[in-house]
Amino acid sequence: MTQKPTLGYIGTGLMGLPMSARLLAAGYDLTVWNRTAAKAQPLVDKGATMGENPADVASKSDIVFLCLTDTKAVQESVFGENGVASGARKGSILVDFSSIQPDASREMAERLKAEAGMDWIDAPVSGGVPGAEAGTLAIMAGGDQAAFDRVEDVVLKMAARFTLMGPSGAGQTTKLCNQVIVGCTMAVLAEAARLATNAGVDATRLPEALAGGFADSKPLQIFLPRMINAQHEPPLGHVYTMLKDLDSVCDLARSCTSPVPFTAMAAEQFRLLSVRGGDEADALEIYKLSGASKF
C-alpha cells in the first residue's frame, strides 16, 4: 500500500480554509500556517498541526500548498525569512493556488528549483468559496509533467478538474483567461439586472426565464440573485482580487499585443467599486454602481 504524502498548507483564508479541511477529511497528515494564526485554528481543532512558520511547514511536508493574496505575499512566504525555500525537502513539490502574474511564477519556480531542489506547480483555482467547500473547483496548472503527476491525486481531493496547460506559468495565464470571462460577465450581469429593474421587470426571475437559453450560465444562476438580493456575506470574492487579476490581464495583453477592450472597461468599474466600497467589498457589489444603493 502506497504511503500518503505529508502535506503542508500556507494561507488559510477564504479559499485555503475549506480546501485544507477537505485534505483533513481525506485522512492526510497536514501542517498549516497563516500569518494570522487564528484563521488556521479551526483546522488545528480538526486535527492539523500548526506550523511555526513557512519553513517549518516545508520541513514536514512532501507537498506544500500555497493560497495567498498576491505576488508579494507569495515571494515573502517562499523566499523571505523562515520561508519555504529555507526549510524545503529536496525533491518535494510546491503547488501554488494563488493567482499571480505568469512571469513572476516562472521566475520563482526557477529560483526555488535552483536553491532548494523543490519543484513548483502554478495552479490557480476557479469556483470560489462554494467550489472550495464542495470540492468542485477547476484548477489550471503549469509546470513539469512528472511533478504534476505526483500531486494530481491529492489536488483532486479539493477539485473536480485539474488540468496541466503547459510549462511553468501556463496555469497563471489560463487563470487570467478565466478572469477575463468572469470579470466581464459580472459587469454584464450587473448591467442586465439594472436594465430589468429600471424597466419594471422583476430581475430576480431572470435566471428562471433564461435557463436553458444561450444566455444561461453558472454566473447567471449564482451571481445575479446575489446581486439583486444584496447577499454579500460571505463574499464570493473580494473586489481587490478581481481588480488585481484584471489589471494583470491588461499587463499581459500589452506584452503580447492582444486587445482586451472589454476587460479594460470591467477593470475600471471594479476600480470604482474599490474606491466606493473598499478593497474588501464583494466583487458582486458592482451591481450597486449603477443604482442608488449605498455602500
Catalytic residues: 175
Which residues lie closer than 8 Å to 65 by C-beta, 6 or more apart? Answer: 7, 8, 9, 10, 16, 19, 20, 94, 95, 96, 97
H-only helix segments in the chain: 16-25, 41-45, 54-59, 71-79, 84-87, 102-116, 128-134, 145-155, 170-198, 206-210, 218-228, 239-255, 261-277
Torsion of CA 31, 35, 38, 41, to 10 degrees: -10
Q: Across-strand partners of 238?
A: 282
Query: How far apart, in whole angstroms, are the C-alpha atoms of residue 24 and residue 154?
Result: 11
Q: How far is CA 120 from the centre of its chain?
A: 17
Angle between helices 170-198 and 239-255 (to 10 degrees): 120
Query: How far apart, in whole angstroms, are the C-alpha atoms of residue 98 and residue 105?
Result: 10
* Residue whose C-alpha cell reads 493567482 in the numeric block: 99
C-alpha cell at 280: 474588501
Query: How far apart, in whole angstroms, are the C-alpha atoms of residue 196 and residue 194?
Result: 5
